[in-house]
Amino acid sequence: MEDTNSLIEQRRQNLAGLNARGVNPFMNAFSPDAQCGTVRTELARWAEWNKSVEPKGEPVGLAEGTRVRLAGRITAHRDMGKSQFLDLRDVSGRIQLWIQPKVLGEEAAEIFKLLDLADFIGIEGTLFITRMGEPSVKVESFTPLGKSLRPPPGKWHGLEDTEIRYRQRYLDLIANEPVKEVFLKRSQILKEIRSFFHLRGYVEVETPMMQAIPGGAAAQPFKTFHNALGCEFYMRIALELYLKRLLVGGVDKVFEIGRNFRNEGLSRRHNPEFTMLEAYEAYGDYATMMETVESLIRHLALSVVGTLKIEHRNADGDIFKTIDLSHWRRARYKDLVREKAGDDWFQVSPEERRRRAVEDLKLSGDIAAGYEDFEVTAAVFEKLVEPTLIQPTFVTHLPKQLVPLAKISAEDPTTVEVFECCINGQEIAPGYTEQNDPIAQREALEHQAGGEQQKLDEDFLVALEHGMPPAGGIGIGIDRLCMMLLGQESIRDVILFPQLKPKA
RNA sequence: GCCUCGGUAGCUCAAUGGUAGAGCAGUUGACUCUUAAUCAAUUGGUUCUAGGUUCAAGUCCUAGCCGGGGCACCA
């Protein structure tokens, strides 16, 4: 970027002015002893205590007169001439600074004039409450810490240009407080997921992202090349096959949180790289994992969002959707399809089903000529059922053709022991009773590979032949989970740096 | 890949085909408690790019670039 304008030029001149006075505006370090937002809250608590009627009891918070050292970015400047007010902001929030250039001395006053909005400074001073009741710091000294050479986005309207928000997320984080909240909460979600599984005795592992054969899902992979080994690798599309090797190896409860890469279209719900959680529990089955998913998501909602009723708001701030995580429905695939497609859906002929799907249900664009009967029903489920599953629903008893790698249900051999946990109209988490029969697994993988032998992960099949315990497994798309929990409608709003086309 | 909407000052937005403008920010000045500070003055533009139509294009046409939404792809 070589764009220059007068705003940048002015800042460069202020930088030159600081240098000319022997001031280094890019310090190596500074040691604050408190955080802006925390100090503001604690001082306000003390003020509340101080004005309460007798008996007051023990003082709380931070008292007026307390000395603090703070560091942050200048986000507002209110110039009263002999009295100046700044807002200083760090990750915890903001606090007002009161600066009297005259009190600082002539030299410091000159340096103060060379500060710009968005500069980082460190200050030392004492706490006090203004006449207007604003918790503030009376600044005794300040140090420039990091100069900003470009103007920040507007403080009032924030930053709304989606392209800049995504390409220069740091500006989005500076200008839009709610955006920062979302990403701080995403961090908490990840932390709580880890502690949830650790408490249940799971082991967290990291498995290869570069794989010779990308297995565990059916998606287009990215390809790369390793120079020293002289061979191609694929970026992983799923975590599954390595985690199952670890079940073979005796790690009975194992999970991984990591990035998957899929070379497919982008949308509000798809980013080429996305974060997946997979967890496997030996001697468990899909029912075990349903309990795990429900407990995990309840825990995340309560610990991070503070409620089981998740509100999604539109641009005007009105609630347009509330997801109630206190009730989890369990429903059979066929029953859900019947609700939308008619009670006799599975009694009529395949030809009649196809006719109804195309003509009555208006799915002509979603049903290709070569679709088999189960795919026609699958289209009904995908287009008409799944988007309506806003409230948490475990869909069970899926037809076996739909999920070829899962274990057949003992109670109904036309179905498999699989669930799809749908919330917010999306599949959030599939769960399986995992296949541990190496012969059945080989047949299924060979069928899936469609005769292309090089797509068969022989190493994985050998691992299964050494014996894998029965196990339940789940995968949870973390980005979509965050969308649901944090009330975001686009995956780009829960991924810090979503994939965009490079600017030419 | 297809359909559709959009791109104007640092930010948020205006501008019947007829001199590109406002608010905020910035700059200068005033003010010893302001907080979207206030008041006065003021700077700032390759209207995404390249062509075209026209006496005249931010505006109309063509192509392209980037972004949003939708579709397709996607266990």
Assess contact for A379 and A357: CB atoms under 8 A.
yes
Residue A2 has pLDDT above 80, yes or no: no
Residue A3 has pLDDT above 50, yes or no: no
Q: How confident is the model at residue A160 (pLDDT cuts 50, 70, 90)?
A: very high
The residues, ordered by sequence, that sit 6+ positions from A238 with a Cβ below 8 Å of its Cβ are A214, A215, A216, A217, A219, A260, A276, A278, A475
d(CA A153, CA A161): 10
State residue A405's pLDDT score: 76
d(CA A261, CA A300): 25
Tokens for A375, please give them: 């795919």
d(CA A350, CA A330): 27
d(CA A389, CA A391): 6
> Is the CB of residue A31 inside 7 Å of nucleic acid strand B?
no
d(CA A436, CA A183): 39
Give bridge partners of residue A260 from the DSSP assignment. Answer: A274
Residue A342 has pLDDT above 50, yes or no: yes
Tokens for A312, please give them: 């999604």
Write down how long chain A is: 504
> Is the CB of residue A83 inside 7 Å of nucleic acid strand B?
yes
Q: What confidence tens digit (pLDDT) does each residue in A59-113 have?
A: 899 999 999 999 999 999 999 989 999 999 999 999 999 999 888 888 899 999 9
Strand B bases, protein C-beta under 7 A: 1, 6, 9-13, 23-27, 30-38, 43-45, 65-75
Distance A115 CA to B66 C1' (A): 35
Assess contact for A284 and A247: CB atoms under 8 A.
no
Q: Which residues in range 358-377 of chain A are in contact with strand B, contact meaning CB within 7 A of any of its atoms?
A: 365-366, 368
* SS3 state of residue A113: helix
* Mean pLDDT (chain A, rounded): 93
State residue A398's pLDDT score: 94
The residues, ordered by sequence, that sit 6+ positions from A317 with a Cβ below 8 Å of its Cβ are none
> Is the CB of residue A85 inside 7 Å of nucleic acid strand B?
yes
Single-letter amino acid code for the residue at A287: A
Q: What value, to the nearest 5°, has the Cα angle with vertex A388 and ends A365 and A480?
A: 95
Q: What confidence tens digit (pLDDT) does each residue in A354-368 have?
A: 989 988 888 878 887
Distance A449 CA to B74 C1' (A): 17
The residues, ordered by sequence, that sit 6+ positions from A483 with a Cβ below 8 Å of its Cβ are A424, A489, A490, A491, A493, A494
Q: What confidence tens digit (pLDDT) does each residue in A405-414 have?
A: 789 998 899 9
Assess contact for A43 and A94: CB atoms under 8 A.
no
> Any idea which nucleotide's C1' is nearest the CA of A81?
B31
Q: What confidence tens digit (pLDDT) does each residue in A385-396 have?
A: 999 999 999 999
What average pLDDT score do residues A451-461 get? 83
Distance A294 CA to B32 C1' (A): 60
What average pLDDT score do residues A318-343 get? 94
Tokens for A214, please give them: 């990308």
* SS3 state of residue A442: helix
Q: Which residues in range 204-233 of chain A are in contact with strand B, contact meaning CB within 7 A of any of its atoms?
A: 216-220
Residue A1 has pLDDT above 50, yes or no: no
Residue A479 has pLDDT above 80, yes or no: yes
